[in-house]
């Protein structure tokens, strides 16, 4: 089974930095798009950033210039470097792996997977 495990969350003061990591494991051939979502208390889940296998990135406006998404295809790992953190960045952050091509038994399939989430709390 394909699993995604996030790490790096925690408590940080406003203006500080944090780096999140998410590693996908299993019999994986490729992952089309990896990304990060977040859900703040009382708010809807929002897409933070995405990155394709070729390295093309997209960010939501509120994090542009502060967050950087990257990936290591050899390790099936995606990172989110967060700088100049604000209190409004406080949320549970989830990583995703869309279009994951993996082998199950004797066949191949493509599916989307999610991590369990990691808490990021920014204090002011």
Q: How far apart are CA 39 and CA 48, in angstroms?
A: 10
Neighbours of 38 (CB within 10 A): 22
- The pLDDT, as a whole number, for residue 23 is 97
List pLDDT tens digits, range 39-98. 998 999 999 999 999 999 999 999 999 999 999 999 999 999 999 999 999 999 999 999
DSSP assignments along 2-40, one per residue = -EEEEE--EEEETT--EEEEEEEESSEEEEEEEEEEEE-
Distances (CA, A) of 68 to 2, 4, 90: 25, 19, 17
């Amino acid at each position: 089974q394909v699993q995604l495990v996030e790490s790096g969350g925690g408590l940080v003061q406003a203006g500080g930095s944090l780096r999140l990591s998410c590693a996908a494991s299993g019999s994986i051939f490729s992952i089309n798009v990896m990304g990060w979502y977040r859900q703040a208390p009382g708010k809807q889940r929002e897409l933070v950033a995405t990155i394709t296998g070729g390295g093309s990135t997209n960010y939501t406006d509120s994090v542009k210039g502060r967050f950087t998404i990257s990936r290591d295809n050899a390790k099936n790992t995606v990172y989110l470097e967060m700088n100049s953190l604000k209190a409004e960045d406080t949320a549970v952050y989830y990583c995703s792996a869309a279009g994951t091509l993996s082998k199950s038994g004797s066949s191949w399939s493509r599916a989307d997977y999610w991590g369990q989430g990691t808490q990021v709390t920014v204090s002011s």
